[in-house]
Structure 1
Amino acid sequence: MTAAADSSSIFSLNNSRPPDDTVFYSIYPDSCLSSSAAEDLQSLHLQILNHAQPLTAPYIWQHQPFSLSISPAPLPHLSGRLRFGDNLEDEWFVVHILFEISKNFPNLSIRVWDSDGEFLLIECAFHLPKWLNPETSINRVFLRSGRLRILPPSTFRETPNLEDALRLLAREDANDSATNAPDAVQLHLNNKIGEYPERAYRNVHKVRVIVPVSVAWLLRHEPCLISLSVEGFYDRDIDSMKCAARMERLLPRGKQEEMVEVVVRMSRAMYAQLVQQKFQAPACYPMPERSNVAKYLEAELGMKIACGFEMMYQIRKKEGAEGKGSTWEAFKESLERSGYFEGLLPGSKEYKRLMEKAEEYYRNSSLHSRASEVLSAPVKRIDEILALPHSADDFKSLDLPPSDDDSWLYGGEDELNAALQERQKEMDLFNSKQKKKHKSKEQEEQGSASGKAVDEYDLGGIAKSMQSFIEKMSSYKGAELPEDRNLKDVDFDVDQFMKDMESVMGHRGSDKNDSDIDLEEGSSSDLDFDDYEDGSEHADDIDQDGDDEFIHSYSDALNKELKATTLDKTFVHAGEESTKKKYEGTSNVDDEMEEFTPVDVDFNLVKNFLDSYSSQEGLSGPASNLLGLMGLKLPDDVSKGK
């Protein structure tokens, strides 16, 4: 794993998407934040490998074993990746191993992810805090002291960088830490990984097979090679099948080759990949008569394994796809590149001390990485094993255990349905809690509104809530609504708000360009004319610009045009009643006084809401939905129908 891949967002998968069948992990000791981390990392590496070895020894991995390597950047740490392919058990077994490591090494912070990102959070999706999503989880999710740790927004308002997150975890107390994942999340995760390692060991399937003695000899020395054989058989193509037709390496004598019966250990996924594939035995391959069904099935499975070995061996040898493995020279060069010797002169006392320590570390770590080296250089290892003297006598008189029951291969539907039902129960429980929470809030709102008549209800709250709603944040996902739906009163200047809106829409000029009036768009609101009354600042500006006569002419023409319509009747104007009373009994009422009277925005808003709500007749509609989102509920219209 490169430093760039480790430090980048695990959700930025556009150009460098990780493989879909690979899990990645990084282990950061608290000492990685100090200058002496590189030297301490070697000792920690060996301790972790020694601790993990008893867990991994009985297991057969699908493609590659669990491994760790030292990564010097961006911070000195241990890292690894494991391709699990079609066997998801490998991925969750890795998670179990990492949890066990964190329990026994409390000064470590561990990250684990795959192409889906933080798949541990995906597993606990119904129990996560509302604020947590892929965008907000970057550098916030770790394993530490046997628990899942999630750094909440109270620790970092913005996305933390890796170093700051690690420093915070190093300071936190594991017992009373605010970064501990919620109990529901931790419980669900514990139930998942608590099945391991027993579940992983159950995933290993033992089966009797009849194979050429050369294949039996390979599997006796390197059982891990079975993964390459199955992979070669399962991913075969025309070129590789030509190699299997000749069987030059593993069946040199053709049908005269000695055949032996052995027990092979493989994962259940490997067994399924072999059994479910139909494959005709090569003409040179010795197969028993079909009359003995049991022996024929053992020989057929062994034939597929042998052909897989031949195809893998010949293709890798032909293409030169042979890994170099971890040689001492390559390891030494990596130490020099990482600054391990700190510019010391070769031959100096300190240089020799560090070199001896590196040699000891290499010898010890090679014991744990042998399986990885074998899988990275299988051609060389196969040649070495087959060069050793061997014969069929080495496999005679062996007390072989029977094959494991493979009914799981045909009864997987029941297990799948059980898993789906378990997930469905989890979803139903989540939905029921949400409904219960929503229902309790509705009951509280109804209780607070009960007993109130329409005329006693604070209708001013609608206008205030709408003003507050307008000021809320919004994004492409929609308007942001408060979680508790209880909006507080806000300081909202309606006049200033309308003036700002007019400025934005181009009805009026900005402070920097007051005289630049858009005459093409004009104005259709009484509020616009109200600002141009005699004595206003804008009237003075217009007089100064010499446009007073034009503006009045334009306004008169516009008013005359609108006067013939019913548009003015659709709004209630401020002080409308008092104006009528003032001119009551007067023959010549100044019509322009009413025309220039500003619209009462709040009153019109509430009036329209009430009309819309009343027309719903108790059913769901836009008015009740919008009011509900703002935390308001109007009482029923008891006068309806009377």
Structure 2
Amino acid sequence: MSKTQINLKYEDTLQCLFFSTKNYSNIEWQELCDSINQTITSLSHEYIWHRDEFTVVLPVNTDEKNDIPKHLVSVTCFGDNIEDEWFIVYILLEITKKHNDLIIQIEDNDGHFLLIEAADYLPSWANPDSSENRVFIYDQYVHLIPPSLVPVDSTLKVNEALSLVAKKSEQTKASLEIQQAIFKKIGNYPEKIKDNCHKAIIKLPLDIAAVLTLKPSLIAPLVSAYSSLDSLDAKFCKDIDSNDCYDVEVKFTKFLYAMLLHTRFPNGFRFKSIANDNKIILGLKLICGYRSIMAKSSSDIFSTPEFTTFFNSLVRNGYFKDNLEGSIEHTRLLANAKSYFFKMECPVSTYVSRIINDLKLSKKFNNTVELLKDKSNSGLLENDNDSWLNIHPDQLNSYLNNHYGKKHQLKNNDPITPHIINSELTNFLKETSDYEGVEKINEDNLQGDTIEFDSENFVNCLEKMLNIISNNDVFDMSDQSDSDDGDSSSEANVINSDQDKELSSKLKTDYLSCQNDEKAVLNNFILSMKQEGLSGPVSNVFRTIGIDKSDLLDSDDDA
């Protein structure tokens, strides 16, 4: 499916289409959908989604005009935290373990982000224009349909692509390097879920604390709601008194905790005097987010302008067909449409407020309130260490080098000398480039051009040149035959001797000049790096040829 067909509603959105090699009936498709969602719930019950929860639904309207076979769909807005995107990839791979008939197509706003992650290992033909309907997840692996099966300049329809992946999976399976690049990104799940979380003690009213205890993932919309407040929203946050709050443990992702901690109070917000206490400050922020959501929500989700727009689009696209309003079939289709809207299209504030209200009406709510009150009074609560908020420059440099640095450094741990640097830069400048970046010259194509090389003669000449430079020697003329004419021979020897001395002096001068030039070039580069800050064009060039900035700059010794 092309990017233009995806119609992503939000920025930073991920769409998955679930196709099957089996011919399911409508009831079986719904059973498959329920089974997939159960797997998602079991894998993500401790996970906190940054924006939308990952869930799979049956489309309300089949897109037959694009020749797309029947499928399940998921559209997930992951917002600012791309970690959600990779956790979803992990879940998809796990889903294909349980349902080996599923072929999954996945794209985000950037297109095939799986290929972007494995860009260093892609075949030369693979690019955004040539990869349409060629990238899938099937049987626990990433598949990339090669030109050997379908030429790059040919149009590949979804039906044809699915058939190739199912019948020729060994040929469509992406290379080991591509698989490893993607598995490396998700390899630490599910353990990584706990590593990405942070527990903090915060002063909150018990009703909000109970809601977050019963459904910890609600912390994400509360933080997002607070972070988007402006001075006009001050009316939602009046008369907040921290004296009515209790110390409670709140679970965040590290991303959300840092986001809440560093978001300032908007202008116009006035609170009673508060101490410089993070427990109180963070609590006030969460209360503001909570009140904003509850105030902006609609009591009737299906009377909102968003649902009216959604409903009218279904009517225009013939969703209800010829069924009369009030008929059994029309009622069934309307119920399906409402269910889809609530899960996929509903405004965040309305969706979250409905979940909160349902939790407050549950039997567990009052019991949770009492348990939290007792736990708060026990004094046994403890914060997680937040030292991870402070990143040392060396840690940042190491991270950037590991993720974006050159994969292959200088060979054999060669010492970094002015000559090596100039040599590497010269080779870099000889490489070809286009709008996609620098392209290595294909050395295999050069093997056909044979060059005759006399190694023995070359070594002899090189030895003579080195002797001249190092010892300032002259060529030994004693092997020449003596001339009968003594005067002429003596004069010739003097001339040759002068010429040899001049040549020796010239070679030695050139050699020293070359060394000085290389040192001058290196010194200029180092000076530029010192002036450009943390990163810049010079650092990027050196990183391209395999030399790290820290290898050249020493904070203790400028020499």
Query: Could you tell me whether the CA contact under 8 Å between 1:324 and 1:376 is conserved in 2?
Result: no
CA distance in structure 2 between the partners assigned to 1:393 and 1:286 by the alignment: 27
1:396 corresponding residue in structure 2: 373
Give CA deviations for 1:278-306 in whole Å, capped at 9, x if unaligned: 3289987566544xxxxx21111111111
Is residue 377 from structure 1 mapped to residue 363 from structure 2 by the alignment?
no
SS of corresponding position for 1:379? helix
1:185 corresponding residue in structure 2: 178
Query: Could you tell me whether the CA contact under 8 Å between 1:322 and 1:379 is conserved in 2?
Result: no
Inter-CA distance 141–313: structure 2 relative to 1 (3 Å threshold): same
Corresponding residue to 1:92 among 86, 92, 105:
86
Query: Could you tell me whether the CA contact under 8 Å between 2:46 and 2:193 is conserved in 1?
Result: no
Alpha-carbon shift at residue 412 of structure 1 (Å): 7.0
Alpha-carbon shift at residue 383 of structure 1 (Å): 4.5
Mapping of 1:163-562 within 5 angstroms?
163-172=159-168, 174=169, 177-244=170-237, 246=238, 251=240, 254=241, 258-279=244-265, 289-290=275-276, 296-317=277-298, 376-383=350-357, 385=359, 393-398=370-375, 401-411=381-391, 414-428=394-408, 438-439=442-443, 441-442=445-446, 445-447=449-451
1:624 corresponding residue in structure 2: none
Is residue 26 from structure 1 mapped to residue 17 from structure 2 by the alignment?
yes
Alpha-carbon shift at residue 397 of structure 1 (Å): 2.6
Query: Could you tell me whether the CA contact under 8 Å between 1:316 and 1:322 is conserved in 2?
Result: no
Inter-CA distance 44–283: structure 2 relative to 1 (3 Å threshold): closer
Query: Could you tell me whether the CA contact under 8 Å between 2:234 and 2:269 is conserved in 1?
Result: no
Alpha-carbon shift at residue 48 of structure 1 (Å): 1.3
CA distance in structure 2 between the partners assigned to 1:236 and 1:126 by the alignment: 41
Give CA deviations for 1:519-545 in whole Å, capped at 9, x if unaligned: xxxxxxxxxxxxxxxxxxxxxxxxxxx
SS of corresponding position for 2:178? helix
Inter-CA distance 137–280: structure 2 relative to 1 (3 Å threshold): closer
Alpha-carbon shift at residue 392 of structure 1 (Å): 6.8
Corresponding residue to 2:130 among 133, 136, 159:
136
1:159 corresponding residue in structure 2: 155
What letter matches 1:269 in structure 2? F
Inter-CA distance 375–320: structure 2 relative to 1 (3 Å threshold): closer
Is residue 42 from structure 1 mapped to residue 7 from structure 2 by the alignment?
no
Is residue 73 from structure 1 mapped to residue 63 from structure 2 by the alignment?
yes
SS of corresponding position for 1:396? helix
SS of corresponding position for 1:421? helix
Inter-CA distance 193–402: structure 2 relative to 1 (3 Å threshold): same
1:105 corresponding residue in structure 2: 99
SS of corresponding position for 1:109? strand
Inter-CA distance 231–318: structure 2 relative to 1 (3 Å threshold): farther
Alpha-carbon shift at residue 385 of structure 1 (Å): 4.9
Corresponding residue to 1:52 among 13, 18, 40:
40
What letter matches 2:58 in structure 1? I
Give CA deviations for 1:322-356 in whole Å, capped at 9, x if unaligned: 87999xxx9xx99xx8799999xx89xxx9xxx9x
Alpha-carbon shift at residue 440 of structure 1 (Å): 5.9
Unaligned 5+ residue runs, structure 1?
1-6, 291-295, 452-642
> Which has the larger displacement, 69-78 or 160-169?
69-78
> Which has the larger displacement, 197-206 or 418-427?
418-427
Alpha-carbon shift at residue 141 of structure 1 (Å): 0.5
What letter matches 1:397 in structure 2? D
Give CA deviations for 1:345-382 in whole Å, capped at 9, x if unaligned: x89xxx9xxx9xx99x99xx99x979x99965233444
Give CA deviations for 1:589-611 in whole Å, capped at 9, x if unaligned: xxxxxxxxxxxxxxxxxxxxxxx
SS of corresponding position for 2:15? strand
| Structure with bigger gyration radius | 1
Mapping of 1:618-629 within 5 angstroms?
none
SS of corresponding position for 1:24? strand
Give CA deviations for 1:193-249 in whole Å, capped at 9, x if unaligned: 2122222332122111011223223323433322221111111112212322x25xx
CA distance in structure 2 between the partners assigned to 1:376 and 1:170 by the alignment: 42
Aligned length: 407
Alpha-carbon shift at residue 151 of structure 1 (Å): 0.8
CA distance in structure 1 between the partners assigned to 2:306 and 2:43 by the alignment: 24
Query: Could you tell me whether the CA contact under 8 Å between 1:324 and 1:377 is conserved in 2?
Result: no
Query: Could you tell me whether the CA contact under 8 Å between 1:325 and 1:376 is conserved in 2?
Result: no
What letter matches 2:351 in structure 1? A
What letter matches 2:79 in structure 1? G
Inter-CA distance 284–394: structure 2 relative to 1 (3 Å threshold): farther
CA distance in structure 2 between the partners assigned to 1:375 and 1:280 by the alignment: 20
Query: Could you tell me whether the CA contact under 8 Å between 1:374 and 1:381 is conserved in 2?
Result: no
Inter-CA distance 412–324: structure 2 relative to 1 (3 Å threshold): farther
TM-score of the pair, normalised by structure 1: 0.54
SS of corresponding position for 2:130? coil
CA distance in structure 1 between the partners assigned to 2:146 and 2:323 by the alignment: 39
Unaligned 5+ residue runs, structure 2?
411-423, 432-438, 455-559
